[in-house]
Every structure is written in structure tokens, then in C-alpha cells.
A = this chain, B = another copy of it.
């Protein structure tokens, strides 16, 4: 298929490479020259504007957050300037509220809108094994499946409303953060009693929670070193905040998400703002007077 792709970050680059590898023709745009140029080297074509990326009637976007979409696409009138008919597949993790707004704006502009946030870190994007959570009308999604499958391990379809996919994604990130917090509380409890935290996490991983999330994040906590950065802490905080906002909007208290939010904030206040979001684990140690010496 011929398609456009807007937003070449750590994640987007992996997706584009897999699309190209699967034989799709991808026209890329990014606000910075270098990432786009790298994609061209990898076989993509270059769009000079975000609307040029819509020329083939299918465009993917993967931007960092609500504001990036608003300022890059919506405010400059991209919806109007885009070629029609158009299907826009938004891979970004955005708020439920903004997902609803975008759905309305696309409908008004006569553009089919599909939300497809992903589970997976940059290594999964590179490997083409992302899990896709897809929400939107079947008529728009079904023809896209060959493209979606090119960079995903599995495609989950959650309903005809795009915001539903965003909700599932946000709640999933909330659960991942809760799992990290939970491992960290256990490890701090062990450490304070002279029990090796690393061994504890191995036991829990093997006996209770053998799964990618526990495996990946327990490795960070075991080392108490939160690099390489797959997902920067402030982005994690953003996602937990989105869950809390979605909860507030629908009158759902989420107390564990509230605790995790505080752990993330405390980690930033203590110098972990540039680390992987799993460094929220350090807050458990700081609370117990077991902070890592810098």
C-alpha cells in the first residue's frame, strides 16, 4: 500500500522501517529534518508538509501527546488542507477527552478517523511486535489490516469508537506503572529486612508473574539503574495523569493510580526526570531511607 507517516520519533522510526520492509510505500514527514532524512535513507519518500503526507489517502501519525497533535496538525488547518478521501490512523497515546474531540473534528472534515495506540517499547517497534489497540469504524480499519500487521505482533479491535482504544491503552499503562510500583514496594521491604531484592523479584517473576512487563521492568529495579530509557519518566507521568483524568470525567476513583502518580512526581523531584519511567521504583527506596547514593 501507499501511505503517509507523520512523526518520526523513537517509536515511529521502528514502525516506518517495518512498513517499508513489508513492501509498503511510505511518505514521511517530521518537523525535524534529520529523522525524516534517516527514513528516506531507509527507503521512504519525503513529504515537505504534513498535508503532502496525505496524498495517498491513508496517513498514520505518531506524535508525543495531545498538544503536539494540536499544534502540528489541527491548529495549522491540516484537516482542511488534506487530500480527501482520507483515512487517518492515529498511533499516539492521547487523552480520552482529546480522542473524542479529534473524532468530531475529523467527522466534520470528512476524514475517517481510527485510533490505534500501541503497547510496546522502542525495541518492540523495531522488531515489529507492537500490540495494537484499534478503535474506529470497521469500514476504515479492515482495508488497513495489511499495513497494521506489518509492524505489529497482534491487532486488538476494541470497538467502533476511537476513544475506546485510547482508554484501553491508558488504563494499560496505568496497570504497568502499578506493577512497577508493586515490585518496588516489595523490593524495598525485602532490602530493609536484609533479603536480597534481586532474588525476590526473580521468584515473583518465575512463580507468580512470568510476563513481559514484569520481566522487563524487574530488570531495571534489580539493577536500580534506569537506563537505557525506553519511555521517559515525564511521559509515564502524563499517561497516569490521563488515566486519572479519564477516571475523574467518568466518576471513577483510581487510588492506586494516585499513589503511582505521587511516586512518579517524587522521582522527578529527586532527580530521575530524564530516566526511564521505571525509576518511579526509586521512590519506594527513598521513602524507606534507602535512597541510592548518586
Residue of B nearest to A96 (CB): B193
Complex-state Cα separation, A174 to B156, whole angstroms? 31
Q: Does A22 lie at the interface of the complex (its beta carbon under 8 Å from any beta carbon of B)?
A: no
Which of B171, B179, B265 meets A247, CB within 8 Å? B265
- For chain A, residues 134 to 185, give those with C-beta under 8 angstroms from any C-beta of chain B: 154, 156, 158-159, 161, 163-164, 167-168, 171-172, 174-176, 178-179, 181-183, 185
The reply to whether A237 and B247 form a contact with Cβ atoms under 8 Å apart is: no
Q: Does A259 lie at the interface of the complex (its beta carbon under 8 Å from any beta carbon of B)?
A: yes
Which of B159, B214, B256, B262 meets A195, CB within 8 Å? B159
A253: B residues at CB distance < 8 A: 261-263, 265-266, 269, 287-288
The reply to whether B207 and A119 form a contact with Cβ atoms under 8 Å apart is: yes
- Nearest-neighbour CB distance to chain B for A116, whole angstroms, equals 13
A269: B residues at CB distance < 8 A: 251-253, 287-290
Binary interface profile of A, 256-294, with partner B (CB < 8 Å = 1, else 0)?
A: 111111110110111100000000000010111110000
The reply to whether B192 and A252 form a contact with Cβ atoms under 8 Å apart is: yes
Most buried by B among A185, A203, A209: A185
- Nearest-neighbour CB distance to chain B for A218, whole angstroms, equals 11
Q: A175-B182, A255-B263, A286-B286 known; 11 other A-B pairs, CB under 8 Å?
A: A154-B206, A158-B195, A159-B196, A168-B200, A171-B186, A171-B200, A172-B203, A179-B179, A211-B211, A248-B261, A256-B256
